[in-house]
């Protein structure tokens, strides 16, 4: 017997692999296209249910542009994980920008993507065919408290041979609600040793590590990194950093917002009051067979981060309709 079809609507979607030009690598993203709100105005719970159904690290919803959007060259968007809406994330931004600026020639001229964090300037990357770039909205903040090794190892015990008992690690937010413990490791062997953590030992955003006013009720993950790994390093002033990110028993193949926080932290430490721009290539997802490459450029002025720009590419893997 066929399923009832009353009160249903088909929404078009595309699945892209982001921060790669190779299908089945990079970080998968679902883009769901919403019709004009006069025709269909989904609730928060309906959007969350769709994102949970895709069960990817993020799903981005793109609203049908109205006359005002076209006039101002913007694309309104909302970004969801499988459990909550978030204001910003790097791989949905780059994935949507790549689709809208490259894959979809019928799209009106665009200058900005507008998720919950506000307008994000997007553009084709100069001299790099197939690549797009975006200015990251940020309120970069390094917290006063550092994460002690004991707390980290309660979550990632396999790193005990590589982490000193007295070590502490910086805690950095790119915006409120998006925070990472930045854990530098000495080798790719140590990076490979990191395993998905013990959920009972989850580091929480309201667990005492964040400065007053920055707390939030959600887990924070450790962002592991190795600078200038063997076989890579610094090329034309751009340093390669290998990374991994795990949270809620899930490993993420590419995390543009965490890459922004990490490169912001490293650029501030090394550029300081001198100022200037630093280029970085973040390589993530290798250990899970989904190599991703995230370009980041950080501009520092007067001891503060003036601008963070991320860049990358994306490739369409599948397209279809989801019935809601």
156 CB-contact burial (10 Å; exposed 0-12 / middle 13-18 / buried 19+): buried
Catalytic residue among 12, 58, 235, 271: 58
- Calpha distance 74→111 (Å, rounded): 6
Tokens of 36: 């004009």
**88, 257 contact by CB (below 8 A):** yes
Q: Are 18 and 98 in contact (CB under 8 A)?
A: yes
Compute the distance between CA of residue 272 and CA of residue 302 in angstroms, rounded to an integer. Answer: 7
| 132-135 and 304-312 strand pairing | antiparallel
Distance CA 206, CA 212 (A): 10
Contacts of 14 (CB under 8 A, 6+ apart): 30, 31, 99, 103, 316, 318, 319
60: part of which helix (H) or strand (E)? Answer: strand 59-63
Going by the DSSP 8-state scheme, the letter that residue 47 receives in this structure is H
Tokens of 39: 């025709």
133 labelled catalytic: no
CA pair distance 285, 22, nearest whole angstrom: 13
| Alpha-carbon distances of 4 from 10, 28, 54, rounded to whole Å | 14, 31, 22
DSSP 3-state of 130: coil
The closest alpha carbon to 228, from 217, 237, 219, 220, belongs to 237
Nearest to 263 by CA among 246, 237, 290, 239: 239
Would you please indicate which residues are annotated as catalytic (active-site) residues?
Answer: 58
């Amino acid at each position: 017997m066929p399923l009832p079809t009353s009160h249903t609507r088909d929404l078009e979607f595309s699945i892209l692999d982001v921060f790669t030009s190779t299908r089945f690598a990079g970080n998968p993203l679902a883009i769901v296209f919403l019709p004009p709100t006069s025709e269909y105005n989904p609730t928060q719970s309906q959007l969350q249910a769709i994102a949970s159904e895709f069960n990817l690290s993020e799903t981005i919803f793109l609203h049908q542009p109205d006359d005002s959007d076209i006039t101002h060259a913007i694309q309104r968007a909302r970004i969801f994980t499988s459990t909550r809406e978030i204001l910003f994330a790097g791989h949905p931004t780059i994935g949507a920008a790549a689709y809208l600026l490259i894959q979809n020639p019928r799209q009106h001229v665009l200058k900005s993507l507008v998720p919950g964090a506000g307008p994000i300037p997007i553009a084709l990357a100069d001299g790099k065919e197939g690549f797009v770039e975006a200015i990251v909205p940020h309120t970069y903040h390094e917290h006063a408290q550092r994460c002690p090794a004991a707390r980290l190892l309660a979550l990632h015990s396999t790193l005990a041979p590589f982490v000193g008992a007295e070590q502490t690690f910086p805690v950095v937010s790119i915006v409120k609600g998006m925070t990472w413990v930045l854990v530098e490791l000495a080798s790719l062997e140590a990076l490979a040793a990191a395993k998905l953590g013990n959920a009972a030992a989850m580091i929480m955003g309201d667990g005492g590590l964040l400065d007053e006013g920055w707390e939030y009720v959600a887990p924070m993950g450790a962002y592991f990194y190795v600078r200038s790994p063997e076989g890579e390093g610094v090329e034309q002033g751009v340093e390669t950093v290998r990374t991994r990110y795990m949270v809620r028993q899930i490993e993420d193949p590419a995390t543009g917002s965490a890459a922004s926080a990490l490169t912001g932290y490293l650029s501030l430490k090394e550029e300081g009051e001198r100022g200037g721009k630093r280029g970085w290539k973040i390589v993530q997802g290798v250990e899970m067979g989904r190599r991703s490459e995230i370009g980041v450029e950080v501009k520092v002025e007067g001891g503060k981060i003036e601008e963070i720009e991320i860049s990358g590419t994306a490739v369409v893997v599948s397209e279809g309709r989801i019935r809601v």
